[in-house]
Structure 1
Amino acid sequence: MRKSFFILFLIFPVYLFSQNLDIDVLRNINLNRDRQLDGFFRVITDSASPVAYGVAIILIGISFLQNYSHTRKRSLYIGASVVSAGIITTILKYSIQRPRPFITYPFLEKVTSGGSPSFPSGHTTDAFSIATAVSLAYPKWYVIIPAYAWAGAVGFTRMDLGVHYPSDVLVAAIIGTSTAFLCYKALQLNSKNEVK
């Protein structure tokens, strides 16, 4: 009993601090934003899923049309990364059921859509999943830098436009990146087994 009370005593202040930090950072980003960029940021935020799934579908289509087995493996890996990350995020969203920040804190300005539960950010998951998958499949600086710059911009717009907490975005970036990395390791393992 004492041990559990002691653990609760240690964890609760950390939780309160992190929740306060979460809303303080979000308030600063959302309320001090350059409102002239709202339209541009909506375009960036709305590009997340179409780019993530579109790139995967286009690469898969090209690999089958041109019958390139190496390209096919990479494109299927990219598609598997995006879909897997999306599934994980959706399960977490509906298991945790965290309300959107603009619902809990009405002083925030909601400037774009955001209807499902808040944690983690689906847009950010999609963006970091495709950025990581494409960067691992095509490890060139001219792929990696734009991919991660775009993914970072998507994550920032979710906070700037008032629909996600920083923790939603951070965890989503971790999910997207790690899912793509794990799928890549599975692809490498599969390729080694095929050679044997």
Structure 2
Amino acid sequence: MRTASLKHWALFSAPLLAMLAVVLLACGSEPDVAVFFKDHRAAHPALRTAMKWLTDWSNPVFYVGYGISLLMAWKTNNMKRVRFILILLAVQAVVAGLAVHFLKQTIGRPRPGQGEWFDPITTKGAQHSLPSGHTTEITGWTLPLVLRAKRFLLTGALAVFVAAVGFSRIYLGWHHPSDIFFGWLLGSFGGFAAIIIADSTLFTTRR
């Protein structure tokens, strides 16, 4: 793995990891985090609405963006970009789709405020906390852009955006901080996988 890619991944990851550390240090345990934000949501409905808007629309923005990019690349016969987007879509389907749902149902961790006991092998939505699917997906969409562009301004902007999405999941009471961490970890795996597969496919095609 190239040093530049690892540097951008570290910068990309830093705001989200720092946010998780601050939340836990400020509130204490994960149950304390859930109680704190439950009270905060009740006292600040406008902020709750803003967080809900962010969490609901963050990933759909990338559906539209990648869809438009794929269409334009197809029309201009940019097969390199077409191949990259199709590989990214396939990786996202496997990692942010199948893997996340498999882990959620297999682990059965309760969402904040839904109790303390795990319920493995369950279809109950209240027990599908780990990992955070939103965080996995948004990391999977944005990290490949960071690794392809390697521009510090873009890396920083997307890093703050991903951290904000992760925070919104905690703020709204849908996930524990550790759910966000493992979502980021799984999404990072997907992001690197998409880049590695795309680059190796391109190399094979050129040969």
Band of TM-score, shorter chain: 0.7 to 0.9
How does 1:2-151 map onto structure 2 within 5 Å? 21-32=29-40, 35=44, 36-86=46-96, 87-104=98-115, 117-151=128-162
TM-score, reference length from structure 1 = 0.75
Provide the residue aligned with 2:167 in structure 1.
Answer: 156
1:79 maps to amino acid: L
Q: Distance between the aligned counterparts of 1:95 and 1:42, measured in 2?
A: 27
Structure 1: how far apart are the matches of 2:75 and 2:126? 38
Question: Do the aligned partners of 1:48 and 1:124 also contact (CA within 8 Å) in 2?
Answer: no
Aligned pair in 2 of structure 1 residues 62, 143: CA closer, same or farther (>3 Å)? farther
TM-score (norm 2): 0.72
Q: Which residue of 2 aligns with 1:190?
A: 201
User: Residues 27, 154 of structure 1: CA spacing in aligned structure 2 closer, same or farther, 3 A cutoff?
Assistant: same
**Contact kept in structure 2, 1:57 and 1:79, CA below 8 Å:** no
Percent identity for Structure 1 against Structure 2: 25
Q: 1:174–1:89: structure 2 CA closer, same or farther, 3 Å change rule?
A: same
What value does the CA root-mean-square deviation take over the aligned residues? Answer: 2.3
Unaligned regions of 5+ residues in structure 2, if any? 1-27, 117-124
Gaps of at least 5 residues in structure 1 are 1-19, 106-113
SS of 2:114 mapped into structure 1:
helix
The ranges of structure 1 where at least 4 consecutive aligned residues each deviate by more than 6 angstroms after the TM superposition are none
Change (3 A) 1:137 1:73: farther
Bigger Cα Rg: 1
For residues 94 and 62 of structure 2, what CA distance do their matches in structure 1 show?
A: 12
Cα 1:65–1:116, aligned 2, differ >3 Å: closer, same or farther?
farther
Counterpart of 1:101 in 2: which secondary structure? coil
Q: How far is the alpha carbon of 1:182 from its aligned partner?
A: 1.6
Does the 8 Å CA contact 2:110/2:126 hold for their aligned counterparts?
Answer: no
Deviation at 1:44, TM superposition (A): 0.7
**Match of 1:21, as an amino acid?**
S
Amino acid at match of 1:22: E
